[in-house]
Amino acid sequence: MAQLYYKYGTMNSGKSFEIIKVAHNYEEQGKPVLIYSPSVGARGGEDRVGSRVGFERAAIPVHEDTDLFENVKSQIEASAHDNIYCVLVDEAQFLKKHQIIGLTRIVDELNIPVMAFGLKNDFQNRLFEGSYNLLVQADKIEEIKTICWYCDRKATMVIRFRDGQPMNEGAQIQIGGNEDYKPVCRRCYNEAFRTAQA
């Protein structure tokens, strides 16, 4: 029975690399997959999934008005394959509520498993729209772990930096790399802001 999986982690936890690995495992067995990536925040371009370790895969871009359920149906109809064995979604935190509902329909009506990968919380420790709705709708939720940038604890948060200083204000979505964001544990997150205020 197909299920909706939400696999979340902080930045640098290997989410995009995991998508590429899962796709490879399916395809090595002759089982085609579909990979989607929101056009906002796409590291390798809007039609790519790009990992920080350098691997890339083609992806179907998802725009704000993309109907994922209808898109998957049309991809199946247009393909030479009998079936799609899995739908993989990168940067799922950027999806809209209607798109998460579309993922549930893919699982429930088309009986195709969906694995959505993304951040849970933003730099202000608020849930993204996509992550909130995935936490509500997913059949299985799994954390992809990584370590804090500053100590050896598990990273659960992210700090946004500007000119080397931690920021706690600004737009929720701002794309950046290691110079802009660092994965951190709760203690180091709070300590960074205490130090900056002092």
DSSP characters over 107-168? HHHH---EEEEE-SB-TTS-B-HHHHHHHHH-SEEEEPP-B-SSSSSBP-EEEEEETTEEE-
Q: Is the confidence at residue 196, as pLDDT, over 70?
A: no
**Which one of 19-23, 52-56, 77-81, 176-180 scores highest in mean pLDDT?**
19-23
* Residue 15 in tokens: 């989410």
pTM above 0.95, yes or no: no
pLDDT in tens, 90-133: 999 999 999 999 999 999 999 999 999 999 999 888 999 999 99
- Residue in this structure with the two tokens 């002092």, named with its chain if needed: 198
φ/ψ region of 73 (left if φ > 0, alpha if ψ in -120 to 50, else beta) reads: alpha
User: Rg for the chain (alpha carbons), in Å?
Assistant: 17
DSSP bridge partners of 88: 35, 115
CA distance 19 to 75: 19
CA distance 43 to 59: 12
Q: Is residue 61 helix, strand or coil?
A: strand
Mean pLDDT for the stretch of residues 56-69: 91
pLDDT in tens, 28-54: 999 999 999 998 754 555 676 665 556
Q: Which of 46, 91, 143, 191 is catalytic?
A: 91
Mean pLDDT for the stretch of residues 10-25: 89
Q: Which helix (H) or strand (E) holds 38?
A: strand 33-38
Q: For 41-109, what is the HEC assignment? A: CCCCCCCEEECCCCCEEECEEECCCCCHHHHHHHHHHHCCCCCCCEEEECCHHHCCHHHHHHHHHHHHH
Percentage of residues of the chain with pLDDT beyond 70: 84
* Residue 91 in tokens: 């940067």
Q: Is residue 72 helix, strand or coil?
A: helix
Which domains are assigned to the chain?
Answer: 4-145 (3.40.50.300)
Is 91 noted as a catalytic residue in this protein? Answer: yes
